């Protein structure tokens, strides 16, 4: 196996930094001027159930988008990451003004916009977004960068999440190839949504809690959504950089180099 080219080593080092140190909740807490725990205390008693329902619904809609239109809607995917952030920020401002009640309406919009932004990043890294597995990997990005809350760091690390998601993605891709997309009742698709939701829901919960802090308001809600999308754009950049390098150097070589760089970074 050839040694890594210098430009590829630098790209991988950037990917390691993005994936191992996402920092989303630190940035949101800084914006809020108080710990996210304060937002949790202000949420209604049934907020976890409401967030869970909204998350599952948003992911089901996003799965449909990934399967049916992500590869063919070229013009939409060509929108810049900056434009995606403008739209998501406006959506967050509206939901910040209305509170948790707006989550069920706002989250599917935000998630779909994020998915299209992720697809654009995947294509910029040379991935074929007409391939079903690539489209489902765009959805997988929403499971990255959870951090240590509600789970051990080892379980939420980049390679652990990829390993946990690999079977669900493979089964869903095979099912869709053989039988087409079925919105409800298809076990492989249900398992894929559940696998993503178990991690994506953690970040959605913290985002919702941040918006519950009184000082956030409409302006802060937009800023939280901006950080939310920026986080997943970073996760997509890191993930699809690694996928590009794996296609060039092989999976095992990239993982070894990733772990070497991560160890040096401490």
Check residue 33 and report its DSSP letter.
T
- Distance from the first to the final alpha carbon of the chain: 26
Predicted confidence (pLDDT) per residue in 26-36, tens digit: 777 666 666 66
For residue 31, the model assigns a pLDDT of 64
For residue 34, the model assigns a pLDDT of 61
Predicted confidence (pLDDT) per residue in 144-198, tens digit: 988 655 445 556 789 999 999 999 999 999 998 888 877 666 899 999 999 999 9
Predicted confidence (pLDDT) per residue in 94-141, tens digit: 454 445 666 777 788 888 888 888 988 999 999 998 899 999 999 999
* Alpha-carbon distances, residue 99 vs 49, 164, 235 (angstroms): 16, 33, 27
At 73, the pLDDT band (50, 70, 90 cuts) reads very low
For residue 255, the model assigns a pLDDT of 96
> Where in 93-188 does DSSP place strands (E)?
none
* Alpha-carbon distances, residue 46 vs 40, 41, 210 (angstroms): 12, 12, 16
Query: Which has more confidence, 21 or 42?
Result: 21
176/4 Cα distance (integer angstroms): 36
Location of structure tokens 């095992």 = 252
For residue 202, the model assigns a pLDDT of 86
Provide the residue count of the chain.
Answer: 266
Mean pLDDT over 230-234 rounds to: 90
The encoded tokens of residue 70 equal 């992500």
158/15 Cα distance (integer angstroms): 11
Centroid of chain to Cα 55? 12
Q: What is the largest CA-CA distance in the chain?
A: 57
Cβ(209)–Cβ(99) below 8 Å: no
Q: Would you list the domain boundaries of the chain?
A: 6-265
Predicted confidence (pLDDT) per residue in 42-59, tens digit: 677 787 888 888 899 889
The helix or strand, by DSSP H or E, that contains position 170, with its residue range, turns out to be helix 158-179
Mean pLDDT over 11-40 rounds to: 78
For residue 46, the model assigns a pLDDT of 81
Mean pLDDT over 203-214 rounds to: 76
């Amino acid at each position: 196996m050839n040694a890594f080219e210098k430009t590829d080593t630098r790209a991988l080092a950037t990917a390691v930094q993005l994936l191992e140190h996402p920092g989303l909740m630190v940035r949101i807490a800084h914006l809020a001027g108080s710990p996210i725990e304060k937002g949790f205390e202000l949420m209604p008693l049934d907020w976890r159930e409401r967030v869970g329902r909204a998350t599952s619904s948003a992911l089901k809609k996003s799965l449909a988008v990934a399967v049916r239109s992500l590869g063919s809607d070229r013009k939409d995917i060509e929108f810049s990451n900056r434009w995606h952030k403008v739209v998501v920020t406006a959506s967050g401002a509206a939901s910040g003004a209305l509170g948790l009640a707006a989550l069920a309406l706002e989250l599917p919009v935000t998630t779909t916009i994020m998915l299209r932004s992720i697809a654009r990043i995947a294509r910029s890294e040379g991935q074929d977004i007409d391939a079903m597995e690539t489209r489902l990997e765009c959805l997988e990005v929403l499971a990255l960068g959870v951090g240590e809350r509600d789970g051990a760091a080892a379980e939420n690390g980049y390679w652990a999440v990829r390993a946990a998601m690999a079977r669900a993605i493979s089964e869903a891709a095979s099912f869709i190839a053989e039988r087409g997309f079925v919105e409800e009742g298809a076990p492989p698709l249900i398992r894929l949504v559940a696998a993503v939701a178990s991690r994506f829901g953690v970040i959605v919960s913290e985002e919702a809690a941040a918006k519950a802090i009184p000082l956030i308001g409409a302006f802060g809600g937009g800023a939280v959504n901006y950080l939310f999308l920026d986080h997943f754009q970073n996760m997509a950049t890191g993930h699809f950089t690694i996928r590009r390098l794996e296609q060039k150097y092989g999976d095992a070589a990239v993982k070894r180099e990733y772990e070497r760089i991560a160890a040096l970074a401490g």
